[in-house]
Amino acid sequence: MSCLEGLLRDTARDLEPRIRDQMRGFFGSMVRHYLPQTWVFRTEQETVSLRVDATGAVAVSAGALAPADVTVEVGHDRLRAALTTRSRGGIPPGPLTVTPHTAKGKAAFGYLRDRIGL
């Protein structure tokens, strides 16, 4: 397992119960409208994908899963810091390219960007 794959798995374990909780109740239909989602994180060292299925289950895998809703290209150290701290305060500067491939991906990334520290 790669460095980022392990960090994204930790993030997935934290994220899944939050997503499933948000899928309940009155606003749950809005959350479900944005699922499934696949985000591809690409650094100069590795590529890892995070997928949230229609039930809110979160899975991480090495490589780029298709079709992607969002591709995030970022420096390895910057992404590692973001996944470790999940706050912009300790993130080193550097390039970040976010390419939304779907409208739902763009909306979801805009909503969750701060929660993953990017």
pLDDT of residue 3: 86
> Which tens digits make up the pLDDT trace of 17-57?
988 998 998 888 888 999 999 999 999 999 999 999 999 99
What is the CATH classification number for the domain harbouring 12? 3.30.1050.10
Top-confidence residue, 85 or 101: 101
Q: Rounded CA gap, 77 and 20, in Å?
A: 30
- Domain coverage including residue 112: 3-116
pLDDT of residue 44: 94
Quote the percentage of the chain above a pLDDT of 70. Answer: 94
The H or E element spanning position 5 is helix 3-22
Total structural domains within the chain = 1
Give the global pTM. 0.90
